[in-house]
Structure 1
Amino acid sequence: MNREIIDINDCTILLEEASTDKTMVDSCFFDEPVIAIAFYGAGDVGLKVKYDNETKTFHHTKGMVLSFYADDRVEFEHHVSHEKPLQCLVIATTIKNLDKMPNGEGQFLEQFLSPLVHPQDHYVEGPVFNMSPEMFLLVEQFFNNKHEGHLKMMFYRSHMTALLSHYFGQLALQKVNEIKAPELEKIYLAQDILLSNLENPPSLTELAQRIGTNTNTLKKEFKAQFGVPVFKYLQNERLKKAYNLIKYEQKTVQETAWAVGYDSLGSFSNAFEKKFGYRPSQV
């Protein structure tokens, strides 16, 4: 279990990583009431939020953003296994520090996350959605940072600002393109289908039929929710899985290409380099 805590600009950044060959539970509490945004990386760890007699369970956390208010009576329980390692970045602040934040973050928190700024319970949950590819890449960079000392703090400060700007930007976009709850459930079902069939995904028409909508609605609402078209999202997920297969499971480039649905090694390597900036053989 690796846990790092960094204090920047009246905010606290918490970086947590854990992997295990067995199954373990990692519990986390906050010493004082906080407003926080949690960004979950590639691990897809299980999460339970417990307070009083309530329990909220999240089964698919890969790429998830969770905003919340929580006091010291709230427990965050991560269920870590070999298949589901933990990779979580939390940016947290307190209500009293909102006016001190240097880039207007406090105003955006009030605008988009007002229920968290004026909590009515021990745990108040804000919007939950999936990161855009740009946000996911920024989160990965936090965990891959190699800087030390003042350069490290400069890196964290700049990347925290960039990540929050993308986060509030996505909230603003969702506000404009608000999707009704029944349609949102269909979009998340489409996401689950894609993630379960990365190597052999359905066509756009088949996917629309399986979730009970038409292709135009699927394309429009999927992009509104995730910030990219359906098959751009699919490609991003394939390449993120490929990166983890090579880095953490020691798969060869050829094995990895087949595992994520690429028949051509050249096409896979070119797509990988375009996304990450280096060839899969350099991971």
Structure 2
Amino acid sequence: MNREIIDISDYTILLEEASTENNLIDSCFFDEPVIAIAFYGAGDVGLTVKFDGKTKEFHHTKGMVLSFYADNMVEFEHHVSKLKSLQCLVIATTIRNIDKLPNGEGQFLEQYLYQLIHPKDHYVEGPVFNMSPEMFQLVEQFFSNTYEGKIKMMFYKSHITALLSHYFGQLAKQQNTKLNTSQIEKINLAQEILLSDLENPPSLTELANRIGTNINKLKIEFKAQFGVPVFKYLQNERLKKAYSLIKNEQKTIQEAAWAVGYDSLGSFSNAFEKKFGYRPSQV
């Protein structure tokens, strides 16, 4: 279990990473009331939030962004297993620091996360959605960088600003295209269908039929929920899976490409470099 806590510009940054061959429950509390945004990377760890006799569970956290208010009565449990590792970045601040935050970020918190600034319970949940590809890549870089000392702090500061910019930008887009509960359930089902078979995903027509909608609504609502079109989302998930296969499971580039549905090694390498900034042979 690796845990790093850094204080930057009235934010507290928490980086957590863990993998295990056996089941592991990592439990934590905050010492004082906080407003926080948790960004979950590639691990897909299970999360349970406990407060005042209540329980909230998240079974699939890969790529999830969770905003919340929590006081010291709230317990967070991460359920780590061989297939569900932990990779989580938390950006937290306190209500008394809202006006001190840089770049007008306090105003954005007030505008987009009003219910967290004015909580009515020990735990208040804000928007929960999936990261855009740009956000996911930024989160990955927090865990993969090898900088030290002042250079590392400079790196963290710049990436926190970039990550929050994408976060508030995605919230703004979602407010312009709000989905009701039924629409969100259908689009989340579409996501599960895509992720269940990255090698041979359904066509847009088949996907729309399986979730009970039409192609036009699928395109509009999927982008509203996840920030990117269906095909772009699928491509990003394929490449992230391939990256994990090469780095963590020592698969060859050819094996990784085939596993996520690429027949052409050249097309795979070009798409990989466009997303990550380097060739798969450099992983």
What TM-score results when the alignment is normalised by the length of structure 1? Answer: 0.99
Q: Counterpart of 2:182?
A: 182
Offset at 1:17? 0.3
SS in 1 for 2:80: strand
Offset at 1:39? 0.1
Q: Counterpart of 1:44?
A: 44
CA distance in 2, matches of 1:277, 1:158: 18
CA distance in 1, matches of 2:64, 2:275: 20
CA distance in 2, matches of 1:79, 1:199: 28
Correspondences of 1:1-283 after superposition (within 5 Å)? 1-283=1-283
Offset at 1:276? 0.8
CA distance in 2, matches of 1:232, 1:74: 37
Measured against aligned partners, the alpha-carbon deviations of 1:63-120 in whole angstroms (never above 9, x if no partner) come to: 0000000011111100111111100000000000000112111111111111100110
Measured against aligned partners, the alpha-carbon deviations of 1:186-215 in whole angstroms (never above 9, x if no partner) come to: 111100110111111000000000000000
Offset at 1:129? 0.1
CA distance in 2, matches of 1:269, 1:106: 41
Give 2:90's aligned amino acid: V
CA distance in 1, matches of 2:166, 2:221: 19
CA distance in 2, matches of 1:147, 1:58: 32
Offset at 1:263? 1.6
SS in 1 for 2:102: coil
The runs of at least 4 aligned residues of structure 1 exceeding 2 Å deviation read none
- Structure 2 residue runs of 5 or longer lacking an equivalent are none
Give 1:80's aligned amino acid: V
CA distance in 2, matches of 1:122, 1:4: 25
SS in 1 for 2:103: coil
Q: Percent identity?
A: 81
Offset at 1:270? 1.4
Offset at 1:184? 1.2
CA distance in 1, matches of 2:255, 2:226: 29
Measured against aligned partners, the alpha-carbon deviations of 1:229-253 in whole angstroms (never above 9, x if no partner) come to: 1011000000001101111111111
**What do you get for the CA RMSD once the two structures are aligned?**
0.7
SS in 2 for 1:138: helix
Offset at 1:281? 1.4
What TM-score results when the alignment is normalised by the length of structure 2? Answer: 0.99
CA distance in 2, matches of 1:178, 1:49: 26
Give 2:268's aligned amino acid: F
Give 1:58's aligned amino acid: F
Give 2:135's aligned amino acid: M
CA distance in 1, matches of 2:21, 2:66: 27
Offset at 1:22? 1.2
CA distance in 1, matches of 2:108, 2:139: 20
CA distance in 2, matches of 1:242, 1:31: 39
CA distance in 1, matches of 2:26, 2:258: 34
When structure 1 is superposed on structure 2, of 229-238 and 269-278 the one drifting more is: 269-278
CA distance in 1, matches of 2:4, 2:51: 25
Give 2:32's aligned amino acid: E
CA distance in 2, matches of 1:112, 1:279: 38
CA distance in 2, matches of 1:168, 1:278: 28
Offset at 1:154? 0.8
- Structure 1 residue runs of 5 or longer lacking an equivalent are none
Give 2:130's aligned amino acid: N
Offset at 1:255? 1.2
Offset at 1:130? 0.3
Offset at 1:226? 1.0
CA distance in 2, matches of 1:104, 1:27: 33
Q: In the comparison of the two structures, how many residue pairs are matched?
A: 283
